[in-house]
Chains A and B, each alone.
Chain A
């Protein structure tokens, strides 16, 4: 037997095993402590400290005391820290390559707490975060922050259309009048027309003795006709000028008549008088705060998101994995009677301590492979001292499907949350603060992949506000808000989780508009009436001037028409025809007399 077996070899084997077991038993605590610190530092890129680790073996439980993880973006603070944590780990599953934690308890979990000494940072933080937060601009209410102008100053403004169009019309009248007067000077005068008449009458009185006299008369009349036609051409040109002038002046008069209403619209727009009606007051006041509070949720998501995206990246890199499997191999899984995901925390309890209060967070079935057991992860958050007396209940469930798409839905309820000194507006000329109030509300949310749909209702009661404003409108606004004891808000968020579209609506909008309109309408109506009356006076004045000028234009037009008709009469005068007829009749009578004499002698 001894030729075949080496008994001392057996002793060596068990001695080595025992040595390893002893080493693990005595040094496991510090090995795990170092493991947590090093792996935490590798993941975060900043110093991680663990005060002490204690391992108990039946059942295997890890007790971690004094955990601190430095915030790489703010090394004077911890990203997360806790006083104590106990982790009940199934070591058997760990040897199978799975992390199965039956119970995880974390006590006094704190976020962004100041460190005793500055933590070391190994990887510089992304610079992206530096541009993420831009200071809020003075949008919204400050636009309204303009007092009403004086009517006199307003009407002196040369940009007013009524003034502009009035001046343009007056100028056009002058120019057109000048043109017509110039034309008028070229037209035949009354004396000339009388001369023409005299000449035609003289032609009519001419005695015709022979055909040669008629021809001579005709020639004289043709000379006169040429003059008439030349004058007629001048009159036609004058008539065309009159039509053009009338068209231009009619157009400008219409523009002038429409000017007062256009001017009022411009005044309304310039001095934001129309904005009071359409202003989105709820969004102006609470939009920034809603974004700020949403930012907290987004920060939490940003810490979790890499885990989800890493899971997605795993799917995308399936081809690479297959390639690696050719050389390094892969696990092939078979049907298990009790399948387990790679990482599973059956029950987790956290007591989170924040400046806002203490929160009891519990989670069940926490994993990233929900399809293995077909059970969703659930999380609930409860607190009875949010900012003193607020009561919060939040419950949500989530699951990742085999395509690594995140499905989640949840609801929350908040009661009696005391609000104090919440700055709502801090613009250069307008500040508004909620001094005290009680907030309550409830809401639901659902998430599919990274698309969020959330509806929330909030009610602020027993509210008191304070604020200062420079202008009349902003003072009115503050007074209106101060008169409100309670207000309701509906906030909905829709779209990409990292950048959702927030929509805030409230009966406050109607209340504010009504109150504001009531308070401003009196002044606004007086202002409107005054401005409109003054604009109409300007219009009447401008039109009065134009009427006077119009009458003189009509005189010129009448004169042109009279001259035209006189010349027409002259051109179509029948003096030659009459003379021809007279001569013919005379010759006829002469022949008759001559014939009678000859016949009398014959039959006499």
Chain B
């Protein structure tokens, strides 16, 4: 866990593209909201592995948003219910239902569809918000916090040693 967190912090502090980290968090959000064993999660996992996104950030975001999904479950289900029961979309779902892939992906389940749709819609603003926050962090927050004594104390801790090992700073020093 320490290693994962250190990797994320390292990524935040490193020269890694902010987009890679933000995309990892956004994808972690989509996968985290959905039930684990769904077809679309395999697709997103494929994307995460295939595209150059920060894997540590993705795993942490997945775990965090998985926890958050329990609080959002009723919202997720209601989104799925309203979509699957919408009169205007009935013919669309009727047509999709004839495809095995649609049923295999369990997209006729209110939670799965709600999680996918809500995740995909919210992932876009989340991507931009994360982009903005990471840039701000790199510019102001990092320098500001390093002045504090507590940060200096933290640098003497075990966590910092792990962080240094991950980032390769320990070897240099």
Interface residues of A (CB under 8 A from B): 3-6, 9-10, 12-13, 92, 95-97, 325-337
Q: B111 at interface (Cβ–Cβ under 8 A)? A: yes
Contact with A along B51-79 (1 / 0, CB 8 A): 11000000000000000000001101100
Is B161 an interface residue, CB under 8 A from the partner?
no
User: Interface stretch among B5-13, B97-105, B136-144?
Assistant: B97-105
28 sampled A-B residue pairs with Cβ under 8 A: A3-B52, A4-B52, A5-B50, A5-B51, A5-B52, A6-B50, A6-B51, A9-B50, A10-B49, A10-B50, A13-B45, A13-B46, A13-B49, A325-B77, A326-B77, A327-B77, A329-B80, A329-B109, A329-B110, A329-B114, A330-B109, A331-B109, A331-B110, A332-B81, A333-B97, A334-B90, A334-B97, A336-B97
Compute how far the CA of A406 lies from the CA of B72 in the bound complex, rounded to whole angstroms: 41
Complex alpha-carbon distance, A4 and B77, angstroms: 35
Write the chain B residue with the least CB distance to A330: B110
- Report the bound CA distance from A439 to B51 in whole Å: 79
The answer on a CB contact under 8 Å between A96 and B49 is: no
- Answer whether residue B85 sits at the interface, using C-beta atoms and an 8 A cutoff: yes
Q: Counting CB contacts under 8 A, is B112 at the interface?
A: yes
Q: Which 6 A-B pairs have the closest CB atoms?
A: A329-B111, A9-B49, A334-B97, A329-B110, A332-B84, A13-B49
Instruction: Using known A-B contacts A95-B104, A330-B109, A334-B93, determine if residue A6 contacts B49 with beta carbons closer than 8 Å.
Output: yes
CA distance A328 to B106 in the complex (A): 13
Which residues of B sit under 8 angstroms from A326, Cβ to Cβ? Answer: 74, 77
Nearest CB of chain A from residue B51's CB, rounded to whole Å: 6
Residue numbers of B with Cβ under 8 A of A are 45-46, 48-52, 73-74, 76-77, 80-81, 84-85, 90, 93-94, 97-98, 100, 103-104, 106, 108-112, 114
- Which A residue's beta carbon lies closest to that of B48? A9
Q: Contact at B100–A12, with CB atoms within 8 Å?
A: no
On chain A, the residues within 8 Å of B90 by CB distance are 334
Residues of B close to A9: CB separation below 8 A: 48-51
A334 to B95, CA, bound (A): 9
**Residues A329 and B112 in contact, CB atoms below 8 Å apart:** yes
Residue of A96, A326, A332 ringed by the most chain B CB atoms within 10 A = A332
A4 to B103, CA, bound (A): 32
Measured CB to CB, the closest approach of chain B to A24, in angstroms, equals 14
Complex Cα spacing A69 to B62, Å: 43
Q: Give the chain A neighbours of B85 by CB distance below 8 A.
A: 332
Chain B residue, CB-CB nearest to A92: B100
Query: CB-CB < 8 A to B76: which residues of A?
Result: 329
B54 to A: closest C-beta gap in Å: 11
Given contact pairs A6-B52, A334-B94, A328 touches B108 in the complex (Cβ within 8 A): no
Q: How far is the CA of A328 from the CA of B74 in the complex (A)?
A: 8
Give me 20 other A-B pairs in contact (C-beta within 8 A), A9-B48, A10-B49, A13-B50 excluded. Answer: A6-B49, A6-B52, A9-B50, A10-B50, A12-B49, A13-B46, A97-B106, A325-B77, A325-B110, A326-B74, A326-B77, A327-B77, A329-B80, A329-B110, A330-B110, A332-B81, A332-B108, A332-B110, A334-B93, A335-B94
Task: State the CA gap A392–B85 with chains docked (Å).
Answer: 53
B interface SS class: helix
Nearest opposing residue in chain B for A17, CB measure:
B42
Is B50 a contact partner of A335 (Cβ separation < 8 A)? no
CB-defined contacts of A328 to chain B, threshold 8 Å: 73, 77, 111
Nearest B residue to A10 by beta-carbon distance? B50
Complex formed: what's the CA distance from A330 to B50 in Å?
A: 33
Residues of B within 8 A of A335 (CB): 94, 97
How far does the alpha carbon of A325 sit from the alpha carbon of B52 in the complex, in Å? Answer: 38
- Name the distance in Å between A91's Cβ and chain B's nearest Cβ: 11
CB contacts (< 8 Å) of A332 on chain B: these are 81, 84-85, 108-110
- Whether A336 pairs with B74 at a CB distance below 8 angstroms is no
What's the nearest-Cβ distance from chain A to residue B114, in Å?
A: 7
Cα separation A327 to B78 with both chains bound (whole Å): 9
Nearest CB of B to A60, in Å: 16
Closest residue to B83 on the A side, CB-wise?
Answer: A332
Name the one of B73, B98, B108 contacting A327, with C-beta atoms under 8 angstroms.
B73
Which residues of A are found within 8 Å of B93, using beta-carbon distances?
A: 334
Residue of B nearest to A334 (CB): B97
> A96–B94 contact, CB under 8 A?
no
In the bound complex, CA of A9 to CA of B97 (Å): 33
Query: Are A327 and B74 touching (Cβ within 8 A)?
Result: yes
Are B104 and A4 in touch, CB under 8 angstroms? no
Q: Which residues of A contact B104 (CB under 8 A)?
A: 95-96
* Cα distance A337–B97 in the bound complex, in angstroms: 10
Q: Give the complex CA separation of A329 and B45 in angstroms.
A: 24
**B74 / chain A contacts, CB cutoff of 8 Å:** 326-327
Return B83 CB to nearest CB of chain A, in Å: 10
Q: How far is the CA of A328 from the CA of B72 in the complex (A)?
A: 11
| In the bound complex, CA of A95 to CA of B106 (Å) | 10
**CA distance in complex: A12, B45 (Å):** 11
Residues of chain B lying within 8 A (CB to CB) of residue A97: 106
Output the least CB separation between A1 and chain B (Å).
10
Query: Which residues of chain B are within 8 angstroms of A95 by Cβ–Cβ distance?
Result: 104
- A335 CA / B97 CA spacing, docked (Å): 8
- A10 contacts across to B, CB distance below 8 A: 46, 49-50
- Chain A residues lying within 8 Å of B49, measured Cβ to Cβ, are 6, 9-10, 12-13
Name the B residues within 8 Å of A3 (CB-CB). 52
CB neighbours of A330 from chain B (8 A): 109-110
What is the CA–CA distance of A328 and B110 in the complex, to the nearest angstrom?
8
B100:A96 contact, CB within 8 angstroms: yes
Bound Cα distance A97, B112 (Å): 15
A6→B73 CA distance, assembly (Å): 34
Report the bound CA distance from A111 to B101 in whole Å.
43
When chains A and B are docked, how far (Å) is the Cα of A331 from the Cα of B102? 12
Do the beta carbons of B98 and A329 come within 8 Å of each other?
no
Complexed CA–CA distance, A96 and B99 (Å): 11
Instruction: Assess whether A96 is in contact with B103, with CB atoms less than 8 Å apart.
Output: yes
Please measure, in the bound complex, the distance between the C-alpha atom of A165 and the C-alpha atom of B112, giving whole angstroms: 96
In whole Å, how far is A2's beta carbon from the nearest beta carbon of chain B? Answer: 8
